[in-house]
Structure 1
Amino acid sequence: MTDPHAIVIGGGQAGLATTHALLTRGLRTVLLEAGAEPVGSWPRYYDNLTLFSPARYSSLPGLPFPGDPDRYPHRDEVVGYLRRYAARLDADIRTHHRVTTVARDGDGFTVRTDSGDTVAAPAVIAATGGFSRPHRPALPGLDRFTGTVLHSADYRTPEPFTGQRVIVVGAGNSAVQIAAELAAHATVTLATRAPVRFEPQRPFGRDVHFWSAAVGFDHLPIGHLLRSKPASPVLDAGAYRAAIAAGRTGQRRMFTHIEGSTVRWPDGSTDEADTIILATGFRPDVSYLDSLGALRDRVPLHTRGVSTTVPGLGCVGLEWQRSFASATLRGVGRDAAYVVTRLATTTSPVRRRCCQPVG
């Protein structure tokens, strides 16, 4: 392959959608993926993870999700879908290539991997997404807890927690799903800073994603207007709310103190706990951009995915990058197309070369 027009970092859903958008414009592309295959973080999620969006709203550009379009796919189905998607791309996909640094090189960039390999191109798109670095907040007394603390990224199945007293921290979909699953095996308390906000999965008999698409909410480019990410509601067909109402999953405000295995709640009562699971979300892992001046507080400085400080640099897959759906399977394709179009029309080396035939 001759020199690429663009380098994509990260081979998950964001990187694959971005590669598709680049190839569609006739731009030669190298995709660098740290793992063994271009499927992102999906194989590492908990075993029973089920999408909250139906298959018809869980596709990347150019390849519909197979099967019943109204079903809710499981984790392994998503992994299989991403494998097929990557195999259909006519791109130079290099696995086991973890990017360590991206440096300016004249009008373009030089990307270096942990193996010492380098790749140069006039444009770079960071697509390691917003879910590559588990967020572990500084909760009161957590450092004094003598039990086990783990992030939801390390949770797989409920059986190892059988008979334990478990606190799940978080109020999002993953927190509630994990807590409900654990309730059949352990004594579970859901600890939240604010009440869990439930929304029906299928209002008026249609999935909420149908209504979101129908009114155009997914397409609204409003993410850049928000100073902080709004708390997402928990989509529920009724089982999760019922589990909490029936007491199978307790719900308390965030604990105020921990000493040993004793957890103190805001009302002064205490409980003993064996394990605390932090379902507290993720943050972007784009430390390889440090030397470019492209980050603030470890997060890219951008407008709708286009760097505001480094010409020729973009990102795809960040939460609220452009819209409500930006970090999802159904949303990364639109964001990728926007970023690629912007870079192709504003980055002079790419403009000069984008009309050359693909080698």
Structure 2
Amino acid sequence: MEDVWDTIVIGGGQAGLASGYHLQKKGLRFLILEANEQALGSWPKYYDSLKLFSPARFSSLPGMKIPGDGDRYPLRDEVIRYLQEYAKQYRLPVITNQRVESVEKTGEAFMIRTISGEKYQSRTVINATGSFHHPFTPTIKGQEEFQGNILHSSEYRNPERFRNQRVVVVGRGNSAVQIAIELAEVCKTSLAVLRPVQLKRQRVWGQDLHFWIRVIGLDTFPFWRFGRNAPSSSSVIDLGQYKERLAAGKPDQKQMITSFYTDGVIWPDGTKEQVDTVIFATGYRPNLAFLRNIGALDSEGRPLQSAGISTTVPGLYYVGLEGQRSIASATLRGVGPDAKFVVRKLIRHLR
């Protein structure tokens, strides 16, 4: 008879590690299955210069602060080192190179199968793969004819390969603006947007914006109690001279392209422009196909859940979904409280 765990956590990134922390505190028997060689989630895949939009003091996982000045904005590589140390400090039971292929349910137990052929049984499952594993790129007329490069922002690392090119970045969110401003230092860059970029000041009355978000309770406001996920913001936090650089046209903003042609893009006024590269900073979609056979997803592949608790499959939970319980749910600062809430519900189910 195979060992039956109290729970299996799928995903060893920030959401999986936070879940492991709270499961360990409650003395539960669990494993964390991580698809890659290290339990770092999507962080190694982000662009080199990525900077957190919230200061270190508001960006830690439960039980361990990000070291250093709490008012600074940690870079990608700092977060990667922090996650490595977090897993070591708490000796979390992470098994790497275990990409989940399917989840089945037989009676009260779950059977988790991985691509490598391993099988795990558990009484409950926490899906902690988050919302950032399946890059979304819209289809635009003429795209297949374009002879230049089309990338998703998940493939962007640094500006060097684009030096002296003509680049269009599609999007108006934090990543789109940060990438476009960086590119504008080495090449002619435009942001293709449906509406102009809306900026938020990073500091208000001497405090970081996230201080005030926490003071007024917006960071943890329980939108889920009203039957809906937390809204996502389309505003961009100005991490330094964004307003001045956009005003100077480095990068400039243009109304969203209508189509491609062989050598470039076509703007709404009909102008054709030769372009070398188009980068879509158009976000991600959940990639949860391994949960489809147990009736956990809707027709578009989105999880049927409320506040991280499956509404169709008893014993199935989520941590790290965007808007799951608050506007912070998919962030370093948000996965800890969500994991604590989910583990409390999971224990009630086990009892």
Specify the code of the residue in structure 1 equivalent to 2:339: A
SS in 2 for 1:101: strand
1:11-66 alpha-carbon deviations (Å, 9 max, x no partner): 00000001111112211110000011111110111111111110001100000110
Where does residue 155 of structure 1 map in the other structure?
A: 156
Q: 1:29 to 1:155 in 2, by over 3 A?
A: same
- State the 1:228 CA deviation: 8.6
Answering whether residue 168 of structure 2 is matched by residue 167 of structure 1, we say yes
Shift of 1:237: 4.2
Match of 2:88 in 1: 87
Q: Which amino acid letter does the alignment assign opposite residue 313 of structure 1?
A: L
Counterpart CA distance in 2 for 1:144 and 1:299 is 32
- Contact kept in structure 2, 1:28 and 1:91, CA below 8 Å: no
The 2-side partners of 1:141 and 1:333 are apart by 44
| Gap change, CA 1:299 and 1:115, over 3 Å in 2 | same
The reply on whether 1:344 has 2:347 as its aligned counterpart is yes
Is residue 2:315 matched to residue 1:312? Answer: yes
Q: Could you tell me which residue of structure 2 aligns to residue 14 of structure 1?
A: 15
Counterparts of 2:347 and 2:192, CA distance in 1: 46
Contact 1:11–1:128 (CA under 8 A) maintained in structure 2: yes
Partner AA of 2:287 in structure 1: D
Query: Secondary structure of 2:104's partner?
Result: strand
Instruction: Output the CA distance in 2 between the equivalents of 1:230 and 1:260.
Output: 35
Q: Deviations over 1:82-118 (max 9, x none)?
A: 0011112243210011110000022010101111111
Paired residues of 1:29 and 1:91 also in contact (CA < 8 A) = no
Q: Contact 2:48–2:158 at 8 Å: present in 1 too?
A: yes
Query: 1:91 is paired with a residue of what secondary structure?
Result: coil
Select between 280-289 and 178-187 the one with higher mean Cα deviation. 280-289
CA 211–228 in structure 1, closer or farther in 2 if over 3 Å, else same: closer
Do 1:221 and 1:322's aligned partners in 2 also have CA atoms closer than 8 Å?
Answer: yes
Alpha-carbon distance in 2 for matches of 1:261, 1:50: 33
Structure 1 window deviating more from structure 2 (238-247 vs 34-43): it is 238-247
Once the two structures are TM-superposed, the CA of residue 330 in structure 1 deviates from its matched residue by 0.2
Among candidates 274, 283, 286, match of residue 285 of structure 2: 283
Given the superposition, is the C-alpha separation of residues 330 and 227 from structure 1 closer, same or farther in structure 2, using an over 3 Å criterion?
Answer: closer
The answer to whether the 8 Å contact 1:35/1:96 transfers is: yes
Q: Out of 133-142 and 333-342, give the one that drifted further.
A: 133-142
Task: Name the counterpart of 2:24.
Answer: 23
Corresponding residue for 1:356?
A: none
Q: Which amino acid aligns with 1:81?
A: Y
Maintained 8 Å contact 1:202/1:237:
no
Separation of aligned partners in 2, 1:117 and 1:262: 47
Q: How does 1:171-182 map to 2 (within 5 A)?
A: 171-182=172-183
Cα distance in 1 for residues equivalent to 2:45 and 2:259? 31
Choose the corresponding residue for 2:268, options 245, 266, 285: 266
Residue 85 of structure 1 aligns to a residue in which SS? helix
* Residue identity matched to 2:40: V
Residue 160 of structure 1: how far off its partner (Å): 0.2
Where does structure 1 lack aligned partners over 5 or more consecutive residues? 352-359
Q: Is the CA contact 1:108–1:122 (under 8 Å) kept in the aligned structure 2?
A: yes
Distance 1:221 1:338, change over 3 A: same
Cα deviation code 1:121-141 (max 9, x no counterpart): 100010000011111112333
Equivalent of 2:246 in 244, 247, 251: 244
Separation (CA, whole Å) in 2 of partners of 1:131 and 1:164: 28
Between 1:272-281 and 1:224-233, the stretch displaced more is 224-233
Runs of 5+ unmatched residues, structure 2: none
Output the CA distance in 2 between the equivalents of 1:225 and 1:198: 29
Q: CA deviation at 1:229?
A: 4.7
Aligned counterparts of 2:172 and 2:62: Cα–Cα separation in 1: 31
How many angstroms apart in 2 are the aligned matches of 1:140 and 1:305?
Answer: 37
Decide whether aligned partners of structure 1 residues 61 and 152 sit closer, same or farther in structure 2, where only a CA change above 3 A counts.
Answer: same
Does structure 2 conserve the Cα–Cα contact (< 8 Å) formed by 1:221 and 1:323?
yes
Which amino acid in 2 is paired with 1:166?
A: V
Return the TM-score normalized by structure 1: 0.94
1:64-83 counterparts in 2 under 5 A?
64-83=65-84
Give the AA of the match of 1:12.
Answer: G
Deviation at 1:205, TM superposition (A): 1.6
Q: Give the match for residue 331 of structure 2.
A: 328
> Relative to structure 2, which stretch is displaced further, 149-158 or 241-250?
241-250
* Percent identity of equivalent pairs: 49
- Corresponding letter in the other structure for 1:117: E
1:104 aligned counterpart, secondary structure: strand
Q: Distance in 1 between matches of 2:193 and 2:30?
A: 44
Of 303, 307, 319, 1:300 maps to 303
The Cα shift of 1:225 comes to: 4.0
Counterpart Cα distance in 1 of 2:73 and 2:196 = 26
- How far 1:151 moved relative to its partner? 0.6
TM-score for both structures, normalised by structure 2: 0.96
- Secondary structure class of the residue paired with 1:122: strand
Spell out the pairing of 1:19-58 with structure 2 (5 A cutoff): 19-58=20-59
Query: Which residue does 2:237 correspond to in 1?
Result: 235
**Maintained 8 Å contact 1:169/1:175:** yes
- Whole-Å Cα distance in 2 between the matches of residues 237 and 178 of structure 1? 12
For the Cα contact (< 8 Å) 2:3–2:121, is it kept in 1? no
2:223 is aligned to: 222
